[in-house]
Structure 1
Amino acid sequence: MSSAAPRPAGPDDLWSVDEHLDDILATVRPLEPIELQLLDAQGCVLVENVTVPVSLPPFDNSSMDGYAVRVADVAGASEEFPAALEVVGDVAAGAADPVRVGPGQAARIMTGAPLPPGAETVVPVEWTDGGLGEGPASGMRARSLAPEGAEGQVHVYRPAEARAHVRAEGSDVRAGELALEAGTVLGAPQIALLAAIGRGTVRVRPRPRVVVLSTGSELVQPGEELAPGQIYDSNSFALTAAARDAGAIAYRVGAVADDAETLRTTIEDQLIRADLLVTTGGVSVGAYDVVKEALSSVGDEEEAGGGVEFRRLAMQPGKPQGFGTVGPEHTPLLALPGNPVSSYVSFELFVRPAIRALMGLTGLHRPRIRATLKADAALRSPRGRRQFLRGRYADGEVTPVGGAGSHLIAALARADALIVVPEDTESVEPGGEVEVVLLG
């Protein structure tokens, strides 16, 4: 485990938020690149510059259904004096050997079809009679009444400039140009571009696999009946959803009872599919905090240079935290507190950046801005603790949502920001300026 962060002198000393985060990011390394099929690469980070092997479009093609013609043949065309042209054939999308258009001629052309030799422009079908001799036609009417392959005459009622309604070869990107640069996150538009230039696979850092599990014998699966003293497990759902939102492939294990051997076995079983493990609960000082006991014996990490260290952080909520590596591959593990708000805030501050570091991203953190506090009373914060309060942000102002309690899930569900009160600040008056972490 890395020693990049300055270590507190003793077990009772507090780590700062920044020290804990620095230690995590000094330990987590980006995943090794792999070659993936395009759809499997969605959400992954590109590790190579991709150049364009063939121009887009690869040939001049029509952007409209209409007629490919020579400019001179439709010059001066009008409703009163239409240009009458001989239709020499059809050019459909995908045509490999289109007909040639000579003087006084036109070729019926479909959207995306290559501009035929001799043609200089395209007149939309709406500017013609569709080859019916009955005045200007709508596209649908012309297409339905003039079957493919029909020849004869078409009357054109408007002139067209050179290369009107023509998509030029290379007008999107040209061969040899940079299509996507390394570091790009592949979303739908980027995958569309890769497919369009003929790439079937791409080299990326894979989305990290994150395994989430809750601890606590009092936890019950949602949908089941609650017995006295039991509560529903919300943390594993929240953290799994948050991990997916951060870009990971997340697996929810669910609640594990307060038994060290069961937890240890569960963690060891999950190592095969985990690039990162996240536990919630059992990290504070107490008789039933089995996470510490279980993690002390997962694969004899201490002898292999791994292990999980449990710390007290100068923050509220989320004071108790654990971090280290477990198993033969030294898989990173973050042990978060069990209170729902503490757990979620801890995820945003520590787990989300770790996930994004595994992906090889440079932007690890949520955006932070300065905002004016909109509140009925001053915010109070314990000196020496960095406090993170839930809030709603709009138009440069942030309003607290709910209280400071780490169990207030309903308030968390209404929040879209975290209000940050620094360690050396005990009070923030309404109208004062605060730092805000935007969650949306």
Structure 2
Amino acid sequence: MNELPSIEQIASCVSGYDPNALPVAQAQEFIARFVTPVAAVESIALRATLGRVLAADVVSPIDVPAHDNSAMDGFALRGADLAAEGDTRLRVVGTGLAGQQFDGAAPARGECVRIMTGAVMPPGLDTVVPQEFTRSDGDVVVIPAGAVRTGDNRRLAGEDLARGEAALTAGRLIRPADLGLAASLGRAELPVRRRLRVAFFSTGDELRSIGEPLDAGCVYDSNRYTIHGMLARLGVDAIDMGVVRDDPAALEAAFRAAADCADAVITSGGVSVGEADYTKQTMAKLGEVAFWRIAMRPGRPMAIGRIHAAGPGSKAAVLFGLPGNPVAVMVTFYAFVRDALLRMAGAAPEPLPMLSARSAEAIRKKPGRTEYQRGRVVRGADGDWHVSLTGAQGSGILRSMSQANGLVVLRHEQGSVAAGERVDVMPFDGLV
């Protein structure tokens, strides 16, 4: 078994690594190097694989389609029989139906076959003219000049998939169309990676769970519900461990229990510089953890590392220590944690789609950090996309995130934005 690279080893591979002023792109590179996929594989029923990660290529055992067939209802003919000028007249000598092979004699020159969509092309015929382009004259079909060209409306054997070709590749998140594709190859089961297990909890003496009395100075914990929703979109097994007080023994017990039952652990709160709690100390005690100040807004403080269930050599889980502010939790999750969890699940993450939109207002921004502003994107009367910010952008204002339908992403080197200038927007549709 290969030993996992240490934080120091990975840091040495990231150019200009500085944990006190880490650009977003470097943090993403670091995390991509740090996490490894789960190894366990299981074979499950095709219908149950939706949203799972494919563990091995699905190779087609057949040509798809298996035979040349018609893409239209019409008449199958030889392209060589089409007249160069004027109408073409062909005698109809039979009918080809979907699911049935044409069983008549091979059509001769000047003959054609009435054919349905999906029916196997009769021998020697290579073109289909749609029935609406023709007219009948007894047992003769008349085809106007230029209605079709040789090869039109014919699907070739293997043009979708050739025998031995990979229909689906390992690392793919299985989607509805993939179920149909696998079914078309006769696959009743597929090999998938084991579901990733992710434990999460919030830290802080001021936090209360829903249903508990709200004492003076206390707030209800919203982060666990937000994290639960984001994890649900990824299809992992999420383990909610509640709120953990700022007590060394309680924190250590929570971290050890989380590392014992999960592949990854997500915490919110307790990673900021100068916080009067024990979370950072406990993280460092139980494993190998790096504490970052990332050049971003919101979400500057973050921790990344591995923690052990019972001590060195025991089972370890990857740790993501997120900020405590509600919006910062969401932004750091989508900037860093989402792709990391997909990699741990065995998937090959694709870059999140970006929409180019015109800013409805000026946005102040200093170069040297990446900023994520909450915005609402609409299609304007000019047909272009336009985005407006959803009010105050403080990292604790969750309402403005709820009102948004995307994040305006202002890049590390970018400065202030003028009204009407184009900006990148990460849409929430399909994401949050």
Report if TM-score (shorter chain) is over 0.5. yes
Residue number in structure 1 paired with 2:57: 49
Shift of 1:342: 0.8
Residue number in structure 2 paired with 1:65: none
Shift of 1:180: 2.7
Shift of 1:321: 0.9
* CA 256–198 in structure 1, closer or farther in 2 if over 3 Å, else same: same
Shift of 1:359: 3.1
* CA 164–309 in structure 1, closer or farther in 2 if over 3 Å, else same: closer
Which amino acid in 1 is paired with 2:326? P
1:306-385 matches, within 5 Å, as: 307-327=288-308, 328-375=314-361, 378-382=362-366, 384-385=368-369
- Computed over aligned residues only, the root mean square deviation of the Cα atoms, in angstroms, reads 3.5
Residue number in structure 1 paired with 2:38: 31
* CA 7–425 in structure 1, closer or farther in 2 if over 3 Å, else same: closer
> What is the aligned residue count?
344
Residue number in structure 1 paired with 2:390: 401
Shift of 1:255: 1.5
Decide whether the 8 Å contact of 1:213 with 1:280 is kept in 2.
yes
Question: Within 2, Cα distance between the matches of 1:267 and 1:119?
Answer: 75
Question: Within 1, Cα distance between the matches of 2:181 and 2:424?
Answer: 39
Decide whether the 8 Å contact of 1:35 with 1:203 is kept in 2.
yes
Question: Within 2, Cα distance between the matches of 1:215 and 1:415?
Answer: 27
Indicate yes or no: 2:182 matched with 1:194: yes
Deviations along 1:201-250, whole A, 9 cap, x unmatched?
A: 32233342222211122222224442322211111111121122234332
Indicate yes or no: 2:17 matched with 1:17: no
Deviations along 1:98-123, whole A, 9 cap, x unmatched?
A: xxxxxxxxxxxxx99x7599799xxx
**Which of 268, 273, 277 matches 2:256?**
268
1:14-413 matches, within 5 Å, as: 14-32=21-39, 34-37=41-44, 38-53=46-61, 162-164=114-116, 178-298=166-286, 301=287, 307-327=288-308, 328-375=314-361, 378-382=362-366, 384-394=368-378, 395-413=384-402
* CA 25–227 in structure 1, closer or farther in 2 if over 3 Å, else same: same
Decide whether the 8 Å contact of 1:42 with 1:187 is kept in 2.
yes
Shift of 1:318: 0.8
Shift of 1:44: 2.2
Shift of 1:365: 3.2
* CA 179–167 in structure 1, closer or farther in 2 if over 3 Å, else same: farther
- Stretches of structure 1 that go unaligned for 5 or more consecutive residues are 60-110, 121-160, 302-306
Q: SS where residue 381 of structure 1 aligns?
A: coil
Shift of 1:57: 9.0
Deviations along 1:142-200, whole A, 9 cap, x unmatched?
A: xxxxxxxxxxxxxxxxxxx6454775598987865654333432123323443454434
Question: Within 1, Cα distance between the matches of 2:102 and 2:24?
Answer: 69
Q: SS where residue 412 of structure 1 aligns?
A: helix
Q: SS where residue 297 of structure 1 aligns?
A: helix
Decide whether the 8 Å contact of 1:259 with 1:290 is kept in 2.
yes
* CA 44–429 in structure 1, closer or farther in 2 if over 3 Å, else same: same
Q: SS where residue 285 of structure 2 aligns?
A: coil
TM-score, structure 2 length as denominator? 0.69
Which amino acid in 1 is paired with 2:265? L
**Max radius of gyration: which structure?**
1
Which amino acid in 2 is paired with 1:340? P
Question: Within 2, Cα distance between the matches of 1:229 and 1:351?
Answer: 30
Decide whether the 8 Å contact of 1:283 with 1:289 is kept in 2.
no
Question: Within 2, Cα distance between the matches of 1:426 and 1:55?
Answer: 54
Question: Within 2, Cα distance between the matches of 1:374 and 1:167?
Answer: 55
Shift of 1:433: 2.4
TM-score, structure 1 length as denominator? 0.68
Question: Within 1, Cα distance between the matches of 2:102 and 2:294?
Answer: 74
Question: Within 2, Cα distance between the matches of 1:41 and 1:22?
Answer: 30
How many percent identity over aligned positions?
31
Question: Within 2, Cα distance between the matches of 1:275 and 1:39?
Answer: 25
Q: SS where residue 15 of structure 1 aligns?
A: coil
Q: SS where residue 347 of structure 2 aligns?
A: coil
Q: SS where residue 20 of structure 1 aligns?
A: helix
- Bigger mean CA offset, 286-295 vs 348-357: 286-295
Q: SS where residue 389 of structure 1 aligns?
A: strand
Q: SS where residue 229 of structure 1 aligns?
A: coil
Shift of 1:358: 1.8
Decide whether the 8 Å contact of 2:260 with 2:316 is kept in 1.
no
Question: Within 2, Cα distance between the matches of 1:50 and 1:435?
Answer: 36
Question: Within 2, Cα distance between the matches of 1:393 and 1:282?
Answer: 34
* CA 407–58 in structure 1, closer or farther in 2 if over 3 Å, else same: same
* CA 435–54 in structure 1, closer or farther in 2 if over 3 Å, else same: closer
Decide whether the 8 Å contact of 1:33 with 1:203 is kept in 2.
no
